[in-house]
Structure 1
Amino acid sequence: MGLCKCPKKVVTTLFCYEHRVNVCQRCLATNHPQCVVQSYLEWLKDSDYDPTCKFCAKPFANKECLRLICLHLYHWDCLDEYCSTFPSTTAPAGYTCLHCDSSIFPPPNASSLIADYCREKLASVNWGRNGLGLPLLSQDGVDSADHEYKYKNPNMSELAPLLSPNSSSRSNTLILFEDDQIHSRGADSQIPRRVHPSLENALSMDADDDKYARRSAAQPLSWIKWLQRRVTSRRCTFTRVLVFLFCFIIISILFLTIDMTYIPE
């Protein structure tokens, strides 16, 4: 383990056999694409290396190379020609590295610059797309940028029928929504048409507004009426008490007068 010589000084376990320096994955992809690179521990065990392709025995510097997830390097043309001879029914595990017998295809959970570049390159050919579980290409000569886009967006193959201009469900009417206005433009119409909200909804909204407005205006009056009722009821009760007391006093006076009249002398 050591530090990469790049300005970021990334801690890495990768070691370039040719330049004898530690390299990070970013520098490996940009500055050492055709160098023999393995872990630093492997270099300590055996510093000998072979800078030639396992298939054609020619130096890596002569052609474009592909580095697998196991860090072993091959000429891309040689690897493509070799794997193209496999039957289309070959499982992904059947495509193995000639050096270490590990799978050519990166694991689905592998997330690194090396794995991403390897997937991108393998997605440019049908046998690679078959191993990655991607839909096959109609021909191998499709633009590589298109491959990259399709690989990074695998769901586009499922959405293609929906976006196809020849789809049977295609409609010749375009509806544009802008704020609260609706414009409809069809094959026979040229002038946008504004559709207003339904009268029923408008009336219901106005009715609700009026309802709350009437309630808020009548609310003080209801309180006044309630207070008047309370005061009136109290006055009635007080009047009844006074009448009862007056009657009681009159009756008491009458009884006393009668008693005083019939007292013997």
Structure 2
Amino acid sequence: MSKQTYKKRTVPDHESQLDSGPTAHAGNAPLSPIATVHRAIAEYRRWHTARVLDLCQHIDMEGVREYEYPEYEEKCRSYADQADEMLDQLISRLTAAFGLPAGESVTVLGTNFQVIPGEINEQARAAFSSGQCHALAQALTEITGWPAAAVLSQQCADEYDECGDGQQTADGVCICRIEHIVNVRPDGSLIDINGAHPADHVQGREPGLPIVPMTERLWRIVSANAEWRDPDIAVARSFVQPLLASLDSDDIHEAKGA
């Protein structure tokens, strides 16, 4: 299952100071890697100056004015959240501009797994079958166009029926029933980090589980739900070509054995 429990940050969009596009500028042309760094430096300095000037309004020669301390403290918390969000955005931009370290292990976001980008081994299979399957599904759809599908448990796991409040359900599916996300190859096979599976069963999971298309509404509740990790798309993309090559190889072996 691709879940964990943690609290996602909810910094409003208008508070995010770094450009959300990792390598884009006003003209929509990609920035060079060095220009990406220069832009990030300029944006941080602008944000830092605005933060300092804002907080200084609550300070006199003796420090923070006592009657303004609650507002000052609230602003400090807000700026700390912004800084955390900016760091995430910066790393995304730098990754897009420079790529992942070649031949070096990296931590898969939101997990304890260390993988070498592009190398499908036991660690990669574990990370992208029990923590980041949704990231790989998105990367596969992006590159191949193969649609994603959700493997569902037979019943809702929420004994308190909190899924029924309307915020955790979409298209008749509650979030706690989504056990795994795969892609559907044109021949009907189900594809995940472990390879190709029959159209009605993912190896290693209970036979006969319902499989439904991942609609936009389902993707939205997955993205918003705190139990699902933020997708590590950068690392997931590195596994797409090796995975596709392994599928082709398997098909060749099957044909020779027929």
TM-score, normalised to structure 2's length? 0.19
Q: Which has the higher contact order (CA 8 A, sep 6+)?
A: 2
Q: TM-score, normalised by structure 1?
A: 0.18
Greater C-alpha Rg = 1
